Amino acid sequence: MAAAKSKNALDLFIEGARNGWVIGTTSMLPNVLMAFVLIQILTITGLMGLIGKVAGPLMVLWGLPGEGMVVLLGAFMSMGGGVGVAAGLIANGALTPVHITILAPAIMLMGAIVQYMGRCLGTADSNRKWWGWQILICIINALVAMWAMRLIVSFFPDTPIGV
The band of 32, judged by pLDDT with boundaries at 50, 70 and 90, is: confident
Is the pLDDT at 162 greater than 60? The verdict is no
Rounded to an integer, the average pLDDT of 42-67 is 91
Mean pLDDT of the chain: 84
% of the chain residues with pLDDT over 90:
33
Rounded to an integer, the average pLDDT of 122-145 is 84
The answer to whether 110 and 138 are in contact (CB under 8 A) is: yes
Task: Give the per-residue pLDDT at 163.
Answer: 47
Return d(Cα 136, Cα 139) in angstroms, integer: 5
The band of 55, judged by pLDDT with boundaries at 50, 70 and 90, is: very high
Is the pLDDT at 152 greater than 70? The verdict is yes
Handedness of CA 146, 160, 50, 37 (dihedral sign): negative
pLDDT in tens, 70-119: 999 888 888 888 888 898 899 888 899 999 999 999 999 887 777 777 66
Task: Give the per-residue pLDDT at 159.
Answer: 67
Rounded to an integer, the average pLDDT of 51-61 is 93
> Biggest alpha carbon distance in the chain?
69
Lowest mean pLDDT among 53-62, 82-91, 96-105, 142-151: 82-91
Task: Give the per-residue pLDDT at 2.
Answer: 52
The answer to whether 52 and 5 are in contact (CB under 8 A) is: no
